[in-house]
Structure 1
Amino acid sequence: MDLTSAVCEHDIPEHLFMCSELYIAAFEGNADQVTGLLDGSGAARNGWSSPAAQPTAQHDGACDIHEVTAERSTLLHLAAAQGHDGLITELCRRDSGLLSTKSSSGDTPLHCAARAGHAGAVGAIGRLARANVEEDRLRDALRGKNEAGDTALHLAARHGHGEAAEALVRVAPETAAELNGAGASPLYLAVMSGSVRAVRAILWCSDASAAGPKSQNALHAAVLQSSEMVSLLLQWKPGLVTDLDNNKSSPLHFASSDGDCTIIKSILAHAPPRAAHMQDSQGLSPLHAAALMGHAAAVRLLIQFSLASADVRDKHGRSFLHVAAVKGHCVIVSHALKTRMLEHHLNAQDREGNTPLHLAVVAGECNVVCKLLSSGKVQTHIMNNAGCTPSDLVKDCRGFYSMVRLVVKLYGSGAQFQPQRQDQIEKWNGQDIMKWRETTSKNLAVVSTLVATVAFSAAFNVPGSFGNDGKAVLSGDRMYDAFLVLDTFAVVSSVMATILLIYGRASRSNRSWVGFMIALHFLWMSLNSMVLGFFAAMAAVTNQKKGMRTVMSQVIYYGMYYLVMLLISLATPGSLTGNLKFLIGSCRERQRRIKRRISRQYPFAISYTFNVVMFIVLSCVAITSVDVTRTFLDG
């Protein structure tokens, strides 16, 4: 039975199943041992010890050159996979038909050599095939495809074997135009592997294909790999720039979304003017893609290449500025504000009538809203198709802090609400805030109780201890007296905070919000008093000559200062001036009406802003107290 008929059967005949000795000899490239086994030399079989564990599977007499493994790989497959050029030559001398045999996965020996990256084996197989294989079987030997549709060049390219790819394009250059079962060309796979050498080798073939899956080309993949490969592809075929994938995305879309300006410049240097205007299936241009990802430098580069591309709208009628506002990319918004020829986009409406300000408010992007309003170029009274101004859309904001920031900022800019009957106004849905308050009240009650316990116990473990008469040793010392006052205040304020928090959890009424906010102030004051009391106690028992008081005062002062500044920056909805303006109001009738509308729909915004201002005042008093004490001690 010959090999062709044997491999077509489901089971491998017993006499064609490769023995272990022959397999190991071929794997290790021992041509003499393989030759001896094939010739039936007893000395060869008895004089060589397999490194595998004994006993090994053996044949009686000589081995057959057509023996195969469980995957139907021949001796030539094994030799090619390991790059044994001498053994390859010897096996082909005995039977050149092995060059076109295929394993169970459809791999020829050339596939095996290419996958492993053995350029020498690839060259040897190519020479032997052209010299010994008949024309009708030469195609299978050099250009055949496996079950996945891969040629040997596909495999070398996929694994990034540049030297093997160079050998393959010399052996079978026509395979550079072949596509595998996934629709990928060797060039596309070489780009994906990141091998510049493999890319160069394939580009040597004038008829090479650049196709990839999903209608992409090699340039689509290269823009996400390296600028060198992009340059090579553009020099080879500049027309790749305008090819579109299944989503109608061009390579410029890919490059713009990645934001590498070097690659974008290379593409634009070879691109026709229309490349910057090409839209994908969603109507997005490369400029949209850059704006969505926040690549400000790429946005400037694309606009410089084609200013008219800024007028491209997606299927929702949105410009690049609309999408940048939705994503909160302030740098791109700032660029539009500073460029006079882009100012008409600031108040442009999409198909739903939304301006960039509308979309930024809906997305809760407070920084973008602040940037737009502070420019003085954005009109805040524009209504969308639903009749809503940007101020009306604050009601859709789900975050409490974002809601407050938006309300304060929009009020400061004089933003209007749509005309509406005041009895039909619905208050902002604060259910999430109610849940947050209940959970926070429980945790804060534990903290306030702990502060009260610590402050209470400190009164009976006074610094300096007690004398024989039961009185404090440091009684009459100014720092000790300050400790007693501060400790007492910490006890009282923490107890008050605990009572208010417990009452708020029990009542669960809207008025309990007032108690909750007052409890927060009491708790903050108790914490400050406890810190100052600690400082006073340590100062009372520390020798001033050693400078320890000064060190402690500086640590406490700067620690409290940076903590307060951090809390203020995180909690304050805008500038202090803007908050005061929001609370005090304006003498203008229009602003008074807007303020009344806010108080009906967003009462939490007013109360929160008031309490933030109170927090700032209390924090400034605490810091000033530490500073005065520090100055007193240093003096």
Structure 2
Amino acid sequence: MEITPAGCDHEIPEHLFMCSRLYIAAFRGYTDEVFSLLAGSSGTAVEPANSRPSPAAQEHANHHGGCSIREVTAERSTLLHIAAGEGHDELIAELCSHDSSLLSSSSSSGNTPLHCAARAGHAGAVRDIVRLARANVEEDRLRAMLRGMNATGDTALHLAARHGHGEAVEELMEVAPETALELNGGGVSPLYLAVMSRSVRAVRAILSCRDASAAGPSSQNALHAAVLQSSEMVSLLLQWKPTLATKVDSSKSTPLHFASSDGDCSIIQAILTHLPRSAINIQDNKGLSPLHIAALMGHTETVRMLLQFSPASADICDNQGQSFLHAAAMKGHSSIISYAVKNSMLKHLLNAQDKEGNTPLHLAVVVEECKVVSKLLSSGEVSLVVKLHESGAQFQPQRQDLIEKWNAQDIMKWRDNTSKNLAVVSTLIATVAFAAAFNVPGSYGHDGKANLAGDPMYNAFLILDTISMVTSVVATILLVYGRASRSHRSWPSFVISMYFLWLSINCMVFGFFTAIAAVSKKGIKIAMSQLIYHGMYILTMQLTFLAMPGSFISTMKFLVSGRMERQQHAKRHIKRQYPFIAFYTFNVIFFFIINNIAMLTFDATRALSY
């Protein structure tokens, strides 16, 4: 009698349903009990005359006192399927010695005993089944058994690889390496499944076949999966077949797209080592390059690494004409914007427009990403207008009443947070200045008056401390007013408060020096004055350099130009459309002048103290 093949709808005859005791004995690997039941020598338990037979006794009675080696479960699994699935090597050998045809029997799902052993990862059972098949089955049938597929198209190698059973995979690859080329019903290779199981041992075993398939679902290959698993598997796959790095899936994504989305720099570096320089420019069906993907996910180190590998890839635009900076701006990744601002090779992208005319700044404003807006503004929206004016750029002719003003109030939402933080700083300065008035240098005498009263440096300290406290209080009031009013006048109040706060800081620092000068020896005064002077000079020059829209000369030209008729028209158009630009530029120049006056004043104070 033949075992019913997979996919057959014939009912199982009653006498071929597996006895429960036989099933349990096979499951537990009790070889002696299995063959005792098969020989029919175990006998049936005696039941009381007036009792109803138990299900087990009734079932055993249906077998006329003996069980058959051809009995199957409801899923048409034989005793050999059960023994193989549990890895009972002795029982496997005994069953095959009694009936070798069990080796090629299939369950209703198409699984052979070899499938069961491989799925459970019993390498010894796999080895025994193959050895017994070689001894009892013809070569053609043996090959068919090793390459046999179940109902879902999985071979034994597929099942072992899917579950990450490295030792079982090694056994199967040794006897049937050609199965590494087979794809299952979903078009997936054993190698892809081994990668997904994260079994490096299984991957190594399959890679011993140079012609193994790396195919996965949706036209992916094993490297697409490996970049999200481990760098070791990535290295193994690239050494085995470097061309995997340039293959695309159904969405035209390369493994580098996948790796860029994950941001693991060690894996990206491994891929770049085996990648042609042009391959980094491959775009998916949306036009996104690996650089776009890294920017969308906010992986700054990945962006830096990709640009170092191929600086020209920065100019790649997607189907909407957007660069990787557009992508970073939309997702609010300010760290990537900061990197671009500091990189002179990327500055041309800061104001690049997509197909709808949107710059990264436009997109950041739309999604209300305040940090990105702040970075982009500091990078040079003002600088751009100044440079365009300097180079003689022409405005598009249009009715002047239809010009939409660029209002800083609309895009400086970050100012609220800044105002709050600055208010804390100004309050702290006022507190320190107030406390310093009652803890004067030189302390007090027995008459309650300051010991240094009348000293020029002491008098300078009192004046500077008073100015510091007053200006910090004014700055606090202006900052609170700006946050509360939210009117058109709140922006100038914010700028003015910044001047008062900067003045209070300078006065506090200079007051500290006069206090030191009043109570210290000449050598200490000289050392302190040098330290304060150079520290303040470096700070003010750095702030001026960062805030200056272009060079100092070009900024001055922008403010004072207007003698020629063309310059007058351009200046008038700028003031109408960008009223904030002239105000900002004036304040930068004013800041530069005020700081130089402050430094000269400090020089004079220092000379008097000597």
Q: Does the CA-based 8 Å contact 1:261-1:297 persist in structure 2?
A: no
Alignment pair present for 1:603 and 2:603: no
TM-aligned CA distance change 1:77 to 1:614, over 3 Å: farther
Q: Name the residue aligned to 1:247.
A: 251
Alignment pair present for 1:212 and 2:216: yes
TM-aligned CA distance change 1:227 to 1:439, over 3 Å: closer
Alignment pair present for 1:230 and 2:238: yes
Q: Does the CA-based 8 Å contact 1:290-1:296 persist in structure 2?
A: no
Alignment pair present for 1:153 and 2:129: no
Residue of structure 2 aligned with 1:582, choices 534, 555, 558? 558
Q: Which stretch of the first structure deviates more once superposed, 565-574 or 207-216?
A: 565-574
Structure 1 residue 419: Cα displacement: 1.1
Cα distance in 2 between the residues matched to 1:198 and 1:512: 67
Alignment of structure 1 residues 138-537 onto 2, 5 Å: 142-145=146-149, 149-158=153-162, 164-190=168-194, 202=206, 208-218=212-222, 226=234, 229-233=237-241, 245-248=249-252, 260-265=271-276, 281-282=285-286, 295-296=306-307, 298-299=309-310, 323=323, 367=341, 398=365, 399=373, 401=377, 403-433=381-411, 436-437=414-415, 440-441=418-419, 444-445=422-423, 447-504=425-482, 508-537=486-515
Structure 1 residue 463: Cα displacement: 3.0
Structure 1 residue 73: Cα displacement: 8.9
What is the one-letter code of the residue matched to 2:432?
V
Q: Does the CA-based 8 Å contact 2:317-2:324 persist in structure 1?
A: no
TM-aligned CA distance change 1:255 to 1:171, over 3 Å: same
Q: Does the CA-based 8 Å contact 2:340-2:346 persist in structure 1?
A: no
Structure 1 residue 427: Cα displacement: 0.8
Structure 1 residue 559: Cα displacement: 5.9
Question: Which SS does the other structure have where 1:420 is aligned?
Answer: coil
Residue of structure 2 aligned with 1:18, choices 13, 17, 24? 24
Structure 1 residue 418: Cα displacement: 0.9
Q: Does the CA-based 8 Å contact 1:16-1:67 persist in structure 2?
A: no
TM-aligned CA distance change 1:81 to 1:599, over 3 Å: farther
Residue of structure 1 aligned with 2:570, choices 585, 591, 594? 594
Cα distance in 2 between the residues matched to 1:451 and 1:373: 38
TM-aligned CA distance change 1:581 to 1:135, over 3 Å: same
Alignment of structure 1 residues 607-626 onto 2, 5 Å: 607-620=583-596
TM-aligned CA distance change 1:283 to 1:478, over 3 Å: closer
TM-aligned CA distance change 1:168 to 1:483, over 3 Å: same
Q: Does the CA-based 8 Å contact 2:161-2:190 persist in structure 1?
A: yes
TM-aligned CA distance change 1:94 to 1:254, over 3 Å: same
Cα distance in 2 between the residues matched to 1:105 and 1:478: 101
Structure 1 residue 484: Cα displacement: 1.0
Cα distance in 2 between the residues matched to 1:232 and 1:446: 61
Cα distance in 2 between the residues matched to 1:526 and 1:93: 99
Cα distance in 2 between the residues matched to 1:499 and 1:477: 34
TM-aligned CA distance change 1:221 to 1:436, over 3 Å: closer
Q: Does the CA-based 8 Å contact 1:17-1:67 persist in structure 2?
A: no
Q: Does the CA-based 8 Å contact 1:183-1:211 persist in structure 2?
A: yes
Determine which structure has greater relative contact order: mean sequence separation of CA pairs < 8 Å that are 6+ residues apart, divided by chain length: 2
Cα distance in 2 between the residues matched to 1:145 and 1:69: 20
Question: Which SS does the other structure have where 2:130 is aligned?
Answer: helix
TM-aligned CA distance change 1:385 to 1:582, over 3 Å: same
Q: Which stretch of the first structure deviates more once superposed, 64-73 or 621-630?
A: 64-73
Question: Which SS does the other structure have where 2:184 is aligned?
Answer: coil
TM-aligned CA distance change 1:219 to 1:477, over 3 Å: same
Cα distance in 2 between the residues matched to 1:370 and 1:592: 32
Structure 1 residue 497: Cα displacement: 2.3
What is the one-letter code of the residue matched to 1:15?
R
TM-aligned CA distance change 1:176 to 1:412, over 3 Å: same
Structure 1 residue 487: Cα displacement: 0.4
Q: Which stretch of the first structure deviates more once superposed, 63-72 or 148-157?
A: 63-72
TM-aligned CA distance change 1:3 to 1:551, over 3 Å: farther
Cα distance in 1 between the residues matched to 2:362 and 2:457: 52
Cα distance in 2 between the residues matched to 1:624 and 1:108: 94
Q: Does the CA-based 8 Å contact 2:118-2:156 persist in structure 1?
A: yes
Q: Does the CA-based 8 Å contact 1:81-1:116 persist in structure 2?
A: yes
Cα distance in 1 between the residues matched to 2:105 and 2:530: 84
How high is the TM-score relative to the length of structure 1? 0.64
Structure 1 residue 291: Cα displacement: 12
Q: Does the CA-based 8 Å contact 1:177-1:208 persist in structure 2?
A: yes
Cα distance in 2 between the residues matched to 1:629 and 1:72: 102
Question: Which SS does the other structure have where 1:427 is aligned?
Answer: coil
What is the one-letter code of the residue matched to 2:462?
L
Cα distance in 1 between the residues matched to 2:545 and 2:100: 80
Question: Which stretches in structure 1 are left out of the alignment for 5+ residues?
Answer: 27-33, 42-58, 269-274, 304-309, 330-362
Which whole-Å deviations, capped at 9, do the CAs of 1:141-187 have from their partners, x for residues lacking one? Answer: 63444565432212444466665434313433453333234321123
Q: Does the CA-based 8 Å contact 1:77-1:112 persist in structure 2?
A: yes
Structure 1 residue 449: Cα displacement: 4.0
Cα distance in 1 between the residues matched to 2:593 and 2:109: 78
Give the aligned CA root-mean-square deviation in angstroms.
5.8
Cα distance in 1 between the residues matched to 2:217 and 2:522: 78
TM-aligned CA distance change 1:244 to 1:528, over 3 Å: closer
Cα distance in 1 between the residues matched to 2:493 and 2:164: 69
Cα distance in 2 between the residues matched to 1:93 and 1:373: 78
Identity %: 56
Question: Which SS does the other structure have where 2:395 is aligned?
Answer: coil
Q: Does the CA-based 8 Å contact 1:39-1:63 persist in structure 2?
A: no
Which whole-Å deviations, capped at 9, do the CAs of 1:413-455 have from their partners, x for residues lacking one? Answer: 3333211122221111444457555565455445434433432
Question: Which SS does the other structure have where 1:613 is aligned?
Answer: helix
Question: Which SS does the other structure have where 1:531 is aligned?
Answer: helix
Q: Does the CA-based 8 Å contact 2:31-2:90 persist in structure 1?
A: no
